[in-house]
């Protein structure tokens, strides 16, 4: 009989990927998860395989690292080393014969693109067969994997789901924006693997990088740096200037695939432009694609404490205008991600959610990246726990010291310990609603005693010098030194007069902004007061710019009286200059007691939200895979002028190509645009629509989740 001769090897792509829960991921290779067995079939000619006459050895290669795995007839798959076990011979008297071999990878294997070879060693010959490549990912379904997540519902949400909801705005006026993570889109997984290869760590020492890729802590740190382009060939260039010429306005992105494909197609030149929610959403895509459970987090009123003293200083003049004296700022919201992993480097108690922030804010060990910082370490104020816990702790816990100043003199001061990190949120699993996770980051107790030690940890502090007579602010380069009277830490809601602001309804672009100012005289004597109200435009991540509306007048108030004064700011006063999806306003009022010279301030930052688009599905209850469907996008022009712009409709697994159309809509006109689509993936899918108007320059969004049934 002829000798044993291997004809072909079948990597059983469909069966293996279904078992490994990687079906749907698009790659040029077989896609597997570590710590789990997979099966290959060896088709051969000649006599049956005889382990006494020939040896079968699999060679598994990752860059310069290679493992030789002899096929054994007896044995069990292992979670700690590569194994290959002969399952059975498949008898076929007429056609080719086949062997079935089960290979398994350790749960600590490095993730990457491997090459698989088979060597057949007989007495007189050695033949090597190149079988192809496979991509190995982390495995949150495997208990021995350091990213193991117990709940199937949470694995579905944080690994498999490609539908996102990002939260923006301010705590009292939250807007949700749809995002398509797109990890199943064509070529995206291969681009995510490329991102690891382009990293400075891989370029500097390939072997060391590949060995480290067994550890999700290391992977998270690499990806956090690679999503921004500040010190590598990273994916996105940040831009907060308002001028997005030469690129895409960050508010216009609605999914990760366009960004990642553009980056790969331009030989890894940074894509223009990103802001915090774009950086975070792209990182979420990459981490989910790599098999690491990840969710997008929004921290409302997020402190950017540049000098590490755990205090954000804010300055107003006596007219209620916010001044840009300080490099510190409070972002109305800031978006990062959390990834789920074990932290053996921190000792017991710090496994679970870890903060990773790809927005380039501060350097961490010489690169623009942040984390992983264990959420438990932030909660417990373990500022010595790596990585970057002090920075994230300040983002959710800093004090806000607000001062009214005139000619360099501090007129009054207040300290707010509750404003920063007022709400920390994420998308609720299995639902398109918000989940409040503030209590995972913060305790209710006053952390004041602890804050003194924070400045020493980060090595930077601001000086507060107190002298009885002097009350001056000196802006010196990067730091602010100001002197204050010993009593100057008085609360701004003083005994004599109190003031508050109240928005009467959530402001929408095109409508007036209506608000009340409520003033209370706590004294038993009448008062003459001066009222200064000021509204300024604001970017979400920094202090306000110019004043666009103000009102000043005198008020007489009786003893123990409360007065309510209504104001309206008309649309023409805040008409947008740049294309925005939501514009932010800093509104402040200063009340001055003419006699005592005492001043009190109330301020409110809020979002003017864009009108939304409505999407309706023709037969919503019976959307079936591979069956043509119709969606209708509906929009009513709320403006008194005709508007024109471009409508874009997209949906991963629903539309092969985006549907784009130019529109002109008359004042108060309602338009209905039909979009045909054929679902090609079952399960929860999302159709999203963006309308970018030129005048007024506004971006509007709408989305509809659809449950696609298998046929």
d(CA 157, CA 293): 8
Half-sphere exposure of 208 (CA within 13 A, CB side): 7
**Residue tagged active-site, from 142, 276, 284, 370:** 276
Q: Is 357 a catalytic residue?
A: yes
Measured CA distances, 194 to 112, 197, 264, 269 (Å):
9, 5, 8, 13
489 has catalytic annotation: no
> Angle CA(131)–CA(135)–CA(139) in degrees, nearest 5?
130
In the set 357, 399, 582, 593, the catalytic residue is: 357
**Alpha-carbon torsion (402, 404, 405, 410), positive or negative:** negative
257-265 helix and 188-198 helix, angle to the nearest 10 degrees: 50
**Is position 552 annotated as part of the catalytic site?**
no
Q: How far apart are CA 252 and CA 10, in angstroms?
A: 44
- What DSSP line would sit under 678-709, residue for residue? ---S-EEEEEEEEEEETTTTEEEEEEEEEEEB
- C-alpha distances (whole Å) from 192 to each of 113, 166, 483, 570 are 11, 21, 52, 47
What the block records as the tokens of 295 is: 């969710």
* Residue (of 271, 224, 222, 229) closest to 250 by Cα position: 271
- For residue 601, the cross-strand partners are 590
The partner residues of 69 in beta bridges, in order of sequence, read 58
Which one from 138, 145, 305, 334 is the annotated catalytic residue?
A: 334
For helices 216-226 and 276-289, angle between their N-to-C axes, nearest 10 degrees: 140
d(CA 645, CA 240): 23
Q: How far apart are CA 689 and CA 569, in angstroms?
A: 30
Complete DSSP assignment for 209-265: HHHHTT-HHHHHHHHHHHSB-SSSS-SEEE--SS--TTS--GGG--BSHHHHHHHHH
SS percent in the chain: helix, strand, coil, step 5 = 15, 45, 40
Active site residue ranges: 276, 334, 357
């Amino acid at each position: 009989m002829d000798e044993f001769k291997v004809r072909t090897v079948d990597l059983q792509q469909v069966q293996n990927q279904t078992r490994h829960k990687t079906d749907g991921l698009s790659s040029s290779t077989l896609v597997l998860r570590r710590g789990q067995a997979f099966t290959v079939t060896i088709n051969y000619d000649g006599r049956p395989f005889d382990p006494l006459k020939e040896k079968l050895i699999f060679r598994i290669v990752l860059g310069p690292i290679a493992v030789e795995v002899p096929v054994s007839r007896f044995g069990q798959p292992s979670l700690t080393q590569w194994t290959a076990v002969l399952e059975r011979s498949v008898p076929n008297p007429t056609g080719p014969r086949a062997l079935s071999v089960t290979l398994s990878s350790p749960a600590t294997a490095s993730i990457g693109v491997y090459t698989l070879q088979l060597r057949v060693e007989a007495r007189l010959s050695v033949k090597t067969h190149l079988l192809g490549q496979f991509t190995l990912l982390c495995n949150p379904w495997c208990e021995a994997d350091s990213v193991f997540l117990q709940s199937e519902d949470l694995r579905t949400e944080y690994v498999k789901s490609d539908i996102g909801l990002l939260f923006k705005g301010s705590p009292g006026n939250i807007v949700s924006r749809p995002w398509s993570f797109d990890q199943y889109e064509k070529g995206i997984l291969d681009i995510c693997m490329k991102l690891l290869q382009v990293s400075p760590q891989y370029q500097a020492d390939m072997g060391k990088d590949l060995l480290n890729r067994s550890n999700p802590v290391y992977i998270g740190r690499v990806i956090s740096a690679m999503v921004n382009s500040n010190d590598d060939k990273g994916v996105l260039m940040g831009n907060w200037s308002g001028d997005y010429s030469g690129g895409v306005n960050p508010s216009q992105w609605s999914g990760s695939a366009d960004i990642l494909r553009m980056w790969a197609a331009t030989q890894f030149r940074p894509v223009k432009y990103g802001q915090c929610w774009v950086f975070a959403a792209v990182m979420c895509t990459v981490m989910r694609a790599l098999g690491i459970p990840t969710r997008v987090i929004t921290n409302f009123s997020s402190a950017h404490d540049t000098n590490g003293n755990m205090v954000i200083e804010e300055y107003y003049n006596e007219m209620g205008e916010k001044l840009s004296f300080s490099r510190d700022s409070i972002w109305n919201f800031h978006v990062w991600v959390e990834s789920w992993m074990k932290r053996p480097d921190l000792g017991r108690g710090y496994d679970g959610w870890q903060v990773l922030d790809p927005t380039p804010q501060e350097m961490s060990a010489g690169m623009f990246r942040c984390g992983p910082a264990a959420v438990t370490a932030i909660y417990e104020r373990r500022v010595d726990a790596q990585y970057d816990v002090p920075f994230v702790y300040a983002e959710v816990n800093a004090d806000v010291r607000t001062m009214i100043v005139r000619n360099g003199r501090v007129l009054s001061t207040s300290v707010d310990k509750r404003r920063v990190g007022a709400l920390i949120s994420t998308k609720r699993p299995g639902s398109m609603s918000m989940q409040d996770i503030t209590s995972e980051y913060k305790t209710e107790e006053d952390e004041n005693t602890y804050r003194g030690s924070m400045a020493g940890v980060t090595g930077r502090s601001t000086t507060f010098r107190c002298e009885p007579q002097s009350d001056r602010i000196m802006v010196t380069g990067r730091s602010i030194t100001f002197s204050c009277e010993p009593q100057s830490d008085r609360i701004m809601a003083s005994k004599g007069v109190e003031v508050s602001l109240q928005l009467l309804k959530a402001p929408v672009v095109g409508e007036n902004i209506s608000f009340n100012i409520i003033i209370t005289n706590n004294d038993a004597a009448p008062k003459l007061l001066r009222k200064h109200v000021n509204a300024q435009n604001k970017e979400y991540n920094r202090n306000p710019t110019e004043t666009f509306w103000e009102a000043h007048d005198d008020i007489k108030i009786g003893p123990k009286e409360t007065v309510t004064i209504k104001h309206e700011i008309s649309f023409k006063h805040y008409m947008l200059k740049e294309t925005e999806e939501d514009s932010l306003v800093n509104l402040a009022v200063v009340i001055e007691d003419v006699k005592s010279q005492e001043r009190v301030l109330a301020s409110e930052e809020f979002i003017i939200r864009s009108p939304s688009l409505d999407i309706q599905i023709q037969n919503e209850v019976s959307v079936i895979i591979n069956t043509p469907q119709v969606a209708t996008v509906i929009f009513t022009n709320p403006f008194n002028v005709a508007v024109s712009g471009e409508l874009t409709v997209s949906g991963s697994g629903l539309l092969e190509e985006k549907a784009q159309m130019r529109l002109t809509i008359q004042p108060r006109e309602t338009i209905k645009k039909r979009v045909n689509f054929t679902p090609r993936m079952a399960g929860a899918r999302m159709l999203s629509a963006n309308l970018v108007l030129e005048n007024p320059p506004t971006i509007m969004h709408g989305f509809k989740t659809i449950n696609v049934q298998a046929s």
